[in-house]
Chain A
């Protein structure tokens, strides 16, 4: 049963989940967990990543019957992720730059917390389309041709946007 579901597209699985098929939703969770998790690692402090990842999937579960396929499931889930990140900073009255450093020191698993925090702050200051292309290439490991397909723009336009996004984040990191 699960192997049958594994071969279905995200949108077909979402359609089944909408009609009450829990197994279909679980396949979607398994498929998209690495994407959501790695996006959140880039956007929120390390100690909040797991909780917010869980919140994203629970919110998706509650909202899946309102998913009508007007966008891809991936785009829809990205929107939920963005909302959850915004909620996180709003509810805690935090901006990315005011996250306690101690938390990160304990949670960063050896990675330089300064570097991680600097990148997170710089990313949070970028326009959404620049943030998106950086996350797709680095956090999701997506090749440029696939990024172009996901964004619905040409490969040349993708490369050009990428260069501008890198220039923008380089500028933010220098601040």
Chain B
């Protein structure tokens, strides 16, 4: 075990020194040193050519608009994700409850006890407001969730 760790370390040290260009001439060569030298020679990182960077940039500029999704596409994509379906179901349920309350409550809901608001359509409007607020909160949560 310790011997293996020593071998690991010898190879790592040799690689680090070689890649840093700091390998002393008289350095001890671990087994497989030759393979490491070949890899260092062949695979050493190079700077990509400038014309390639420009070529990619041009292509991105030309194609970007074609990939930017419309609002409809974004909503469809969001709605189609399985893990978000329950959230959309919650929004739909909230809307149904609010609509049912508006339709079923007699006279549009009557008075709101304990408030200065008493007449007519206050309760349905309040429920609608709550629903919209809930929908907005869910939408905000969806858009900020990674």
Contacts and interface: CB of A to CB of B under 8 A. Distances in A.
A77 to B, nearest CB: 13
B19 A38 contact: no
B42 A115 contact: yes
Given A119-B39, A134-B43, A170-B35, A159 B8 contact: yes
Interface of A is mostly: helix
Q: How large is the interface on B (under 10, 10 to 19, 20 to 34, 35 or more residues)?
A: 35 or more
A93 interface: no
* Interface range, A side: 35 or more
B115 interface: no
A137 interface: yes
Contacts of B69: 20, 65
Given A163-B7, A166-B32, A37 B48 contact: yes
Interface string A147-175: 00000000010011011001101100100
A58 B49 CA distance: 18
A68 interface: yes
A166 B59 contact: no
B63 interface: yes
Interface of B: 4-5, 7-9, 11-12, 15-16, 19, 32, 35-36, 38-49, 52-53, 55-57, 59-61, 63-64, 67-69, 74, 77, 146
Interface of A: 11, 15, 20, 22, 25-26, 29-30, 33-34, 37-38, 41-42, 50, 53-54, 57-58, 61-62, 64-65, 68-69, 111-112, 115-116, 119, 134-135, 137-141, 143-144, 156, 159-160, 162-163, 166-167, 169-170, 173
